Amino acid sequence: MEFQHRTIVHIEAELQDRKVETATFGMGCFWGPEARFGGLPGVMRTRVGYAGGTTAAPTYREMGDHSETVEVEFDPQVIRFEDVLRQFWRNHYPNRGHYKGRQYLSILRYHDDEQLEVIERVKREMEGELGEAIETEIAPFETFTLAEERHQKYYLKRYPTALEQLKELYPDQHLLVDSTFAARLNGFVKGFRTCDSLFEEIAHWKLPPDYRQYLMDKLKAMKW
């Protein structure tokens, strides 16, 4: 089927037409966590940015009292918030203190009382695994400032040959920010997914069959 009039915007709109929840957290440098969570089935969007502080208009060079943060939008019918939290706590050390000020601080920002209840329950579980009290800074969500474009899908952008092949889907790199497909590719190149597991997942995405086939053909043809 001819796709010249069907951009990734149309594909993503169909794929992401579902109710999502948002998780906001910091666990050190945000590049790796974005790739890790972007590789998870059920995660629809990942973004990196700055949160947890009061400094107005933070940037990577002038972060002020904010921390490097990942914002994850996920489908709770596929992956539960408690499982997102387990991934969060199992993949960084939450008690390293104010290394480099607050930039790499372990933080959680909950979006409602239901999330807080789950956080408190899973935190107790994770303290049992860790064998010590968890010092993650937990507070209500206030603001999230999107990081500069060069930080979004950082590991995928380290493969310029692949990016060139993706231009048909993403003529402008800012389209990578909210893309589910780009999130999976970012996780793949960092080693959090295999190519076979991506094919298997995409084959079951809630998309018209021709859209699914188009993405799988694009993945199969890519040179890294």
| Confidence bin at 167 (pLDDT 50/70/90) | confident
pLDDT above 90: residue 109: yes
Where do the H-state alpha helices sit in 16-71?
31-38
pLDDT of residue 9 exceeding 80, the answer is no
Lowest mean pLDDT among 6-10, 51-55, 188-192, 198-202: 6-10
Q: Which of 3, 6, 20, 29 is catalytic?
A: 29
Query: Is 195 in the active site?
Result: no
Amino acid symbol at 198 = L
Domains for the chain: give ranges and CATH numbers: 8-12+150-221 (3.30.1060.10), 18-148 (3.30.1060.10)
Distance CA 205, CA 163 (A): 23
Kindly indicate the confidence band of residue 63, based on its pLDDT and cuts at 50, 70 and 90.
very high
The predicted structure's pLDDT at residue 12: 83
- Contact between residue 171 and residue 130 where contact means Cβ atoms under 8 Å apart: no
| 222 Rama sector, left if φ>0, alpha if ψ -120 to 50, beta otherwise | beta
User: Is the model's pLDDT at 24 over the cut of 80?
Assistant: yes
**Band of the pLDDT at 2, cuts 50, 70, 90?**
very low
Output helix, strand, coil percentages for the chain, rounded to the nearest 5: 40, 15, 40
- Nearest C-alpha neighbor of 3 from the set 206, 222, 168: 168
